[in-house]
A = this chain, B = another copy of it.
Amino acid sequence: MPTDFNQLTNQLPGLVELCRTYATEGRVASYIPELAHANPQTLGITLHHKSGSFTSAGESDTPFTLQSISKVFTLLLALMDRGEQAVFEKVGMEPTGDVFNSMLKLELVQPGKPFNPLINAGAIVISSLIGGDTPELKSQRILRFIRDLAGDDSPSFNESVYRSEAATANRNRSLAYFLKDNKVLDQDVEPTLEVYFKQCAIEVTCAHVARMGLILANDGSDPLSGREIVPKRYVRIAKSFMVTCGMYNASGEFAIQVGIPAKSGVAGGILALVPGELGIGIIGPALNDKGNSTAGVQLLKQLSEHYDWSMF
C-alpha cells in the first residue's frame, strides 16, 4: 500500500527528535581530519515523492560530502560510459562481510579483482573507468552527473575535504597500488585516486540526495518530466548492490531490519529509496562501529516499520 505522504510529513519532525537520541551511541569519523568537525547531534532528512512533493525535518540543510554514497553514481556513470561487460571484467558482483578497507579479500581471491563496486577497492577501479582524458575531465563529468541527478547546480567539490582526504589516504593508496600490481587497475594510481577522492568530496544537502534517490526509485527517469537520465537496467544493477552491500558489513542486518536499497557514507549521509515511490536523503554524522549513521539507520528503521517499506 502506498505511503501516506501527508501523514509522513506530519510525523517526521517527531520521529527525527526521537531518533536523534541514538546519535549519542555513535562517533563522528575522525580518520579524515576535516570530517571530525561535524556536530554529532545533527540529524536531518528529506523525502522526495514521485508526485513532486517533498518534505524535510531536522537539520536537512546541513551540507555534507557524499563520501561512499558517490560509489553508486560512479558505478552508474561507468556503466553508461563503458557498458556492463567492460565494468564487470574488472569488478565482481559479490557482497563481502569484510570491513570496508580490508586487503585480505583481494589477496585471497585470484586475481586480485575487487569483490564489488561498493567497497573501496572496487570504487577505485570504477573511478579509472569513468570516461575523460584527464582526472579533471573525469571529475567534472562526475560532478555534472551528480548535479543532473540532484536537479540542481549547487553540489560542488569541497576542496578542504578533498585535500584532507588525499593527504591521509594511505590505505587507499596501498589498495590502488595493489590493484595496479595485479593489472586490475590499468591507469596510473595518483590520477585515479584524484578522481576517487574528488567524487567523495562532492558536497550536497539532504534535498539533493533525496532527488538523486528519487531518480533511482523511478528506474532512472525524472518522474515529472519523464526524461531518462540513467537506463533502467543500470539502475537495477545499482539497486541490487545497494541491497546486498550498501551499508558496509551491516548490509545484511539492514536488509532484514529496513529492507530498502540504501548507501551510506562516512560523513554520516545515507541515500535510500522506496522503489516506485520515494527518494530519501539523510545526514547524521555520528557513526556506529560499522561506519553507518546511528541516528540515520534508526530513522530509516522506524519509517520502514511504520510504512511497511521492506521489499522482503
Contact = CB atoms under 8 A, between A and B. Distances in A.
Contacts of A241: 252, 256
Given A103-B103, A107-B102, A240-B259, A96 B93 contact: no
Contacts of A311: 275, 311
Contact of A178 (B98, B103, B116): B103
Interface in A225-258: 236-237, 239-241, 243-245, 249-253, 255-256
B170 A180 contact: yes
A251 B244 contact: yes
Interface of A: 92-98, 102-105, 107-109, 115-116, 170-171, 173-178, 180-181, 189, 236-237, 239-241, 243-245, 249-253, 255-256, 259, 261, 275, 310-312
Contacts of A236: 256, 259, 310, 312
Nearest to A253: B93
A255 B244 contact: yes
Interface of A is mostly: helix
Contact of A97 (B96, B177, B189): B96
Contact of A245 (B174, B178, B252, B275): B252
Nearest to A250: B94
Contacts of A259: 236, 240
